[in-house]
Amino acid sequence: MNLSAVTDAANTTSDKAVPLDVYYAEQVLHAIILAFISFLGITGNSMIILAVLFSRKLQTSTNAFVISLSVADLLTSIFFIFMIVAVLGEGMWLIPGANWLCQLTGFIVYTCTGTSLYTLGVIALNRLVLITKPHLYPKMFTMWKLAVWVAVPWFIPVCANFAAISTGLGGYGYDNAQLACVAVLNARNNSMSLSLYTALIGFPVPFLTITICYVRIYLHVKKHFRERKQALQHSNGIGITQDTPNDRKSIKISRDEIEITKNLFLVVCAFLICFLPFFFLISIPGINVNHELFYIRLMTNASSAINFFIYTRKHPDFRQVLGHMMRCSYSKIPQPSRVLKRLLPEQS
C-alpha cells in the first residue's frame, strides 16, 4: 500500500473537516459498546473457525466459505481495538507517530466488509447449485475451484481499494468529522465520497446475486415439495405403499440442506439489516450525516459478532459442535478431526 498517498489524502480531508459535535460521554459509551462487540466478535468467530477445525462433520465445501466469512469478521473485530482509540480522540488521532495504524485499520475494516458481502453472495450461489443442480455441484466446487471461489471475494475489495489509492481518489486515515479511521476523500476529488465509491463497488453485485439466488431456491423448493405431495397423494390413491427407506433418506437429506440454507439466509438478513442504513445514509448527496453515522456505525460493527449466535441457535451441525465446545466437552464432538484427537488426552 502506498502509505504516503494514503497519508496525503487523509490529512487533506481531516484538516478541512468540521469536528463532530458530541459529548465526551457519548464517545465513551460508543467506545464501551464497540469494545463489547470486539470481544464477542473475536471470541465467536474464533470458535466457529475452531469448530470446523475440530470436526470433520463441518469440513464441507459450503463451510469453506463460512470460514472465510469468519476470518473476515475476526480481522474486523481485532482492528476494532484501534477504532476505539479513534472514537475517543478529540479531533485528532491519539497515537502520535503511528498514523499508519489508523490507515491500516480503515483499509482492513473496509476490505473485510466488502469480502463479507461478496462471500455471502458466493454462499448463495453455492446453495443454489447444491439444491437446484446437484449433478453440477461436484464439478463446480472441486478442491482447486473451491480455492478460487474463496479467494475471489477477497480479491475484489482489495483491488478496488488499491485502485482508489493509486488513482488519487482518496485513502484511509483519521477523520475528526466521524471520529473514526475511515475512507477519506482527496480534496481534489469532489464528485463523490470514497465511502460511496466503496459502497458502489461492494454492494450492488453481491446484493443482486444474493436476492436472485435465494428467490430461485425458494421457488425450486416450493415446487419440489408441491410435486412430491401430489405424487404421494396419487400413490396412496391407487394403493401403493408409503415411501421406501431410501426415499425417506433422500427427503431427510433434502430437508437438512434446506435447514442449512435457511440458516445461511438468516446470516445474509442480519448483515443487510446492519448495513442497509449505513449504505442509505452515505448515498444521500450533499447532506451532512456524520452525527447519524456516529451511531449507525455501531450497527455495522455489530454484524461482525452476530453470526456466532445464529449458528449456535439455527445451524443443525454448528449448533451441536459449538454446544460441546461451550460445555468444554470436546470428547463428545462428532467425527473428531486428527487435530482434535491429538489435543485430547488419551483414554485409559
Q: Where are the domains of the chain?
A: 3-341
State mean pLDDT over 8-14: 42
Number of C-beta neighbours around residue 64 at 10 A: 20
- Tell me which residue of 10, 304, 299 sits closest to 177, measured CA to CA: 10
- Tell me which residue of 60, 110, 53 sits closest to 304, measured CA to CA: 110
Q: Is the pLDDT of residue 45 over 90?
A: yes
Query: If DSSP codes are grouped into helix, strand and coil, which group holds residue 171?
Result: strand
Query: If DSSP codes are grouped into helix, strand and coil, which group holds residue 339?
Result: helix
Q: Is the pLDDT of residue 209 over 70?
A: yes
Is 330 in contact with 345 (CB distance < 8 Å)?
Answer: no
- Tell me which residue of 161, 203, 166 sits closest to 183, measured CA to CA: 161
How far apart are the C-alpha atoms of 341 and 304, rounded to whole Å?
30
pLDDT for 249: 43
∠ CA 171-175-178, rounded to 5°: 125
Q: Is the pLDDT of residue 108 over 90?
A: yes
- Cell (9 digits) for 322: 459449538
How far apart are the C-alpha atoms of 320 and 324, rounded to whole Å?
7
Residue with cell 438468516: 266
Over the stretch 256-273, which tens digit does the pLDDT of each residue have?
777 788 888 888 889 888
- Cell (9 digits) for 164: 482508489
Query: If DSSP codes are grouped into helix, strand and coil, which group holds residue 95?
Result: coil
Over the stretch 218-249, which tens digit does the pLDDT of each residue have?
888 888 778 777 777 666 665 544 544 444 44
Given the candidates 3.40.190.10, 3.60.10.10, 1.20.1070.10, 3.60.140.10, the CATH classification of the domain at 3-341 is: 1.20.1070.10
**Which range, 87-101, 139-153, 282-296, has the best average confidence (pLDDT)?**
139-153
Alpha carbon 289 to chain centroid distance? 25
How far apart are the C-alpha atoms of 265 and 310, rounded to whole Å?
10
pLDDT for 206: 86
Q: Based on the number of CB atoms within 10 Å of its own CB, is 236 exposed (0-12), middle (13-18) or buried (19 or more)?
A: exposed
Over the stretch 319-344, which tens digit does the pLDDT of each residue have?
999 999 999 999 999 999 999 999 98
Report residue 101's pLDDT band, with 50, 70 and 90 as the boundaries: very high
Over the stretch 133-189, which tens digit does the pLDDT of each residue have?
888 999 999 889 999 999 999 999 898 888 877 877 777 888 887 888 887 765 444
DSSP string, 25-60: HHHHHHHHHHHHHHHHHHHHHHHHHHHHHHBGGG-S
Over the stretch 61-83, which tens digit does the pLDDT of each residue have?
889 999 999 999 999 999 999 99
How far apart are the C-alpha atoms of 320 and 55, rounded to whole Å?
10
CA dihedral (47, 277, 170, 109) in degrees, to 10, reads -10
∠ CA 317-319-325, rounded to 5°: 110
State mean pLDDT over 122-141: 90
